[in-house]
Amino acid sequence: MKRNSQNRRDFLKAAGGMSVAAAGLFGCSESSRIFQIQGDRTGTEMTEAIIEKVKTAMLCMQRHSWEHGTAMQGMLEIGDTTNLIIMARESVQRKKSDGRLSMVGSDMNIADTGVNGPGILAAYQITGDEKYKKAAQEQYEYLKRPESKNAVGVIYHNNKSKVIFSDNMFMVAPFLARMGDYDEAMHQIEGIRNLLWNEDQKLFHHIRIQETMEFKDPSFWGGGNGWCAAAMTQVINVLPGERKTDKEKLIKYCTDVLDGCIANQLSSGLFYDKITEPNFEESTLPSMLAYTIYTAIKSGWLDSSYKIPADKMRHAVYANVDEYGLIQNASAAPLFNAPGTSPEGQAFFLMMEGAFGKLKNEV
């Protein structure tokens, strides 16, 4: 999805005229100001303009460490290396002396900072600048510290309370795998799954307290399941061929959570924020799962029949993009307990579109 300068100017012009164009093509509701897709308009210039708007809106948002790292991955997926490198520079500039990247507004993050690692490694591969390689190594060493982990070596979510989040899988495992530490990546996935997986529902619980083994949040939070699905997909694709047994194990794990989520997909194409509990219909999990499915199908390890629910998810997410490029009905930052907007919702839209584009170009 890389574009030359003229194409970029064209897309920006198209984005600037969105309000007028959308009225004719997307039937924009005056009350909601949200674009509604009429028929399949994917792959059109209008779609490119919406992608540009979603990206711009994301860049305007304040971002915590995990949000910044996920936003970098959005840039990586759509091929926007210029913004990726600028964001990587900021991540390194705001690095703590202990190695944690993108540390803004909180000193309690442990796992969250790891999600910046893939973007930093990509910046190093693109630029050859040793500062990025050094920063990635320092972030890696922080995650490997014994004090960052529980008794069986699973990385804690933060240094304030000894809890394990489903989010942690995406925060640390793909980066560890990209650093070549495949054993540690697998150990984190297995450890989180052992603590949070519900075999009956084929879904992940959200938060477990280490000392008591009680669930601080027993719900099947949509975002948490999306983090896990996306994490396993990335690790599967990073593992070398000789790790066939690990790949096969993760493919089963990932397919299981996809099946658990899809079984609860609503007629709108969205999911409840707490997947099995009727609360509000949420728009981030669909992007996460669609990204996972498109990536997995392109990689050859997921049956193409999964594209049917993924396309329905993608369609539903587009229907929640407003005139400013903000994806509405996301589990809202910073508390994630009500409908609204979030940087991770914006980022996974970009990741979904990058993965969709790669798959489409192959078909």
**CA–CA separation, 83 and 88 (whole Å):** 8
**CA–CA separation, 56 and 271 (whole Å):** 26
Q: In this model, does residue 69 exceed pLDDT 70? A: yes
Q: In this model, does residue 25 exceed pLDDT 90? A: no
pLDDT at 27: 35
- The kind and range of the H/E element at 363 are none
Q: In this model, does residue 264 exceed pLDDT 50? A: yes
Cβ neighbours of residue 314 closer than 8 Å, sequence gap 6 or more: 42, 286, 287, 290, 352, 356
Beta carbons of 136 and 124 less than 8 angstroms apart? yes
Provide mean pLDDT across the span 149-177.
Answer: 94
pLDDT at 47: 85
pLDDT at 257: 98
pLDDT at 261: 98
- The kind and range of the H/E element at 134 are helix 130-144
- List pLDDT tens digits, range 294-330: 999 999 999 999 999 999 999 999 999 999 999 999 9
**CA–CA separation, 354 and 122 (whole Å):** 16
**Strand (E) positions, the chain?**
163-165, 197-198, 203-204, 207-209, 215-217, 271-274, 277-282, 330-331, 339-340
pTM, full prediction: 0.88
pLDDT at 10: 43
Cβ neighbours of residue 188 closer than 8 Å, sequence gap 6 or more: 154, 155, 168, 169, 172, 173, 176
Q: Average model confidence (pLDDT) for the chain?
A: 89
pLDDT at 105: 77
Provide mean pLDDT across the span 101-126.
Answer: 94
Relative orientation angle of helices 45-60 and 343-362, to the nearest 10 degrees: 150
pLDDT at 162: 87
**CA–CA separation, 159 and 110 (whole Å):** 6
**CA–CA separation, 334 and 169 (whole Å):** 20
